[in-house]
Chains A and B, each alone.
Chain A
Amino acid sequence: MSDLLLVPVGSSAWLHNSSFQSDAPVQLAWDSTSLRLMMECPRKYYYTMIEGWRAKHESVHLTFGLLYHAALEEYDRARALGLDHTAGLRSAVRLALSSSKDFRSDLPQKNRLTLIRSIVWYLDAFPAETDPAKTVILANGQPAVELSFRLLIPGTELTLCGHLDRLVEYAQNYYWLDHKTTKSTLSAEYFLKYSPDAQVSLYTVGGQIVYGHKLLGGIIDAAQLAVNFTRFLRGFTHRTPGQLDEWLGNAKQWIDLAHHYAQQEDSLETSAWPMNEMSCDKFNGCPFRSVCSRDPAVREIYLQADFHKVVWDPLRTREV
């Protein structure tokens, strides 16, 4: 279900995974998470992708998102197998209860109770019978949910990869559909942040591997998590072929920049990866601000205290 693997904190600075070259921290397989990190700040990319640090509190959001996604996927699979809404919902709730039994959270908006509530409220709001977004059934008879894709960039050793939650047919066009959870109030403005956006563009490129230009973009089903309620809003985001070509060129330039830093002699030193100080207060505040704001000599102490090491491997697939 998860790309996350918690590992003991060791002495090795570089937390290697299969998306990297074996002899240098040169990442060859890129997903939207690693691309975004590099675009935001090379130092943030280094701490997260190469050293593998993840803020302890950030893991709650990631885990909640993965549990929520997995339960909704379970519903889609159950429905595609012919189960009715009640049985599908039961199956999703059962999976969520079971997979969240060890989930600990101090956040009143994101805990086991709000997880189950959000799953029930979402599936009752968008039951398969009346939801105009219909899950595509693939040629092998399986529902198009949690599809992993890989795309080799021509003339390079680079792979772009990702996981599509679900492919749907909507008003005779194709879209990928993704779930997002947020504490922010939902409105039409919420969706503006998805254009331009690396994940949306990459997912659209990935979806077009299956459907070509019949796939117009994505549908985002956003869930606003509050302590005592969950609100939902559906938004659409489109990409033209020209936008996607431009995005691929852009992504390649960011990857080239990462490789430039990774091939320096001191590539396993933070100093090789410059901070982008303009990003520190963006994206809800960088989790590494509490580290980068300290003297370089004591940063390791803050990393050890507030972060743990987690492998994020873009090449781990999710298909069953």
Chain B
Amino acid sequence: MTLQALFDKDPALISDTEIDQIVNSMREARRLWALEESSAKTQGRKPNPHAAKLPPIDLDELEIKI
């Protein structure tokens, strides 16, 4: 199930496995962000703020559906 679908699901019906799926997506984004911050520091540049973007989520869509 995509992150979008998980966010759209009725919270009362969401399973532990699905919660873990959301958590893992967030962790992956955190890993990417940590990598970007570290690389930026090494290279003496500002981190790219889009490096940890969560691709499956359409924010506009999300705001309408939830």
Measured CB to CB, the residues of A under 8 A from B are 86, 89-90, 93-94, 97-98, 100-106, 108, 111-113, 116-117, 120-121, 124, 226-229
Interface residues on B, range: 20 to 34
Instruction: Give chain B residues whose Cβ lies under 8 Å from the Cβ of A89.
Output: 23
A-B contact count (CB 8 A): 72
Instruction: Give chain B residues whose Cβ lies under 8 Å from the Cβ of A94.
Output: 11, 14, 19
> Which listed residue, A106, A120, A124, A228, touches B50 by the CB 8 Å rule?
A228
The 6 A-B residue pairs with the shortest CB-CB distance in the complex, in nearest-first order: A120-B26, A98-B11, A97-B11, A228-B53, A229-B33, A90-B19
Instruction: Give chain A residues whose Cβ lies under 8 Å from the Cβ of B14.
Output: 94, 97
Given contacts A90-B19, A113-B62, A228-B52, contact A121 B26 (CB under 8 A): yes
Instruction: Give chain B residues whose Cβ lies under 8 Å from the Cβ of A124.
Output: 27, 30
Instruction: Give chain B residues whose Cβ lies under 8 Å from the Cβ of A113.
Output: 7, 54, 57, 59, 62
Instruction: Give chain A residues whose Cβ lies under 8 Å from the Cβ of B62.
Output: 111-113
Given contacts A101-B66, A112-B62, A112-B66, contact A93 B19 (CB under 8 A): yes
- B49 and A120 form a contact (CB under 8 A): no
Instruction: Give chain A residues whose Cβ lies under 8 Å from the Cβ of B30.
Output: 117, 120-121, 124
Instruction: Give chain A residues whose Cβ lies under 8 Å from the Cβ of B51.
Output: 228-229
Nearest to A228 among chain B residues (CB) is B53
Instruction: Give chain B residues whose Cβ lies under 8 Å from the Cβ of A104.
Output: 63
- A93 and B22 form a contact (CB under 8 A): yes
Classify the interface of chain B: helix, strand, loop or mixed. Answer: helix
Nearest to A108 among chain B residues (CB) is B59
Contact with A along B41-53 (1 / 0, CB 8 A): 0000000011111
- A116 and B49 form a contact (CB under 8 A): no
> Which listed residue, B10, B23, B52, B63, touches A93 by the CB 8 Å rule?
B23
- Within the complex, the shortest CB–CB distance from B4 to chain A, in Å, comes to 10
- A120 and B27 form a contact (CB under 8 A): yes
Q: List 30 A-B contacts (CB under 8 A).
A: A86-B20, A89-B23, A90-B16, A90-B20, A93-B22, A93-B23, A94-B14, A98-B11, A98-B12, A102-B66, A104-B63, A106-B63, A108-B59, A111-B59, A111-B63, A112-B62, A113-B62, A117-B54, A120-B22, A120-B23, A120-B27, A121-B30, A124-B30, A226-B49, A228-B33, A228-B50, A228-B54, A229-B33, A229-B51, A229-B52
